[in-house]
Amino acid sequence: MSVRISIILLTCIIGSTWSFPAQMTTPALAGGSLEPMEAARKACLQSYCAAGSVWAAVQEGRADDITAAKGVLEKRKKSDPGDKKPEASRDVFTQITEANKGNMALTEEGDILIKIHRSATTSDYLWPKSADGTVVVPYIFSHNYSAGELALFESAMQEFETLTCVRFVPRTKQRDFLNIMSNGGCLSMVGRNGGAQRVELASYGCMSRGVIQHELNHALGFYHEHMRSDRDDYITIITENILPGYENYFKKRNTNNLGIKYDFTSVMHYSSNTFSISPDKSTVVPKSDPSTPIGQRHGLSILDIYKIKKLYQCDVCAILLPDSTGTMTSDNYPSVYTDNASCVWLIRTPSGQVTLQFQAFDIQSSPGCVSDYITIYDGPSKTYPVLVDRACGTGVIPLQIASTNQMLVEFVSDGAVTGTGFTATYSSVQCDGAFYVSNKNITTPGYPENYYPNLDCTWTITAPTGYKISLQINEFNLEIGIFCIYDYLNIYNTTRGKVMGPYCGPIDFYYPFESTGNSMVLKFHSDSTTEMSGFSATYTFVPEKKGRRMKADTDATIADFYIKYT
**Residues annotated as part of the active site:** 215
Q: Flag whether 218 is marked binding.
A: yes
Cβ atoms < 10 Å from Cβ of 190: 25
Give 477's strand partners: 506, 534
Q: Which amino acid is at 413?
A: S
Alpha-carbon distance of 102 to 69, in angstroms, equals 50
Tell me the CA distances in angstroms from 169 to 133, 137, 199, 222, one per residue in order: 15, 6, 15, 20
The pair phi, psi for residue 58, each rounded to 5°, is -65, -45
Element (H, E) at 559: helix 555-565
Alpha-carbon distance of 111 to 214, in angstroms, equals 10
Q: Flag whether 117 is marked binding.
A: no
Alpha-carbon distance of 169 to 387, in angstroms, equals 26
3-state secondary structure string across 351-391 = CCEEEEEEEEEEECCCHHHCCCEEEEECCCCCCCCEEEEEE
Report the first-to-last Cα separation within the chain, whole angstroms. 53
Alpha-helical regions (H) of 114-202: 147-163
CA angle 553, 559, 563 (to 5 degrees): 160
Closest alpha carbon to 526 in 508, 507, 494, 504: 504
Count of residues making up the chain:
566
Cis peptide before 502 (omega within 30 of 0): yes
Alpha-carbon distance of 324 to 350, in angstroms, equals 6
Q: Flag whether 269 is marked binding.
A: no
Calculate Rg over the CA atoms of the chain: 27
Closest alpha carbon to 258 in 223, 234, 208: 223
Q: CA 550, 553, 558, 564: dihedral to nearest 10 degrees?
A: -160
The annotated binding site for Zn(2+) is made up of: 214, 218, 224
The annotated binding site is made up of: 214, 218, 224
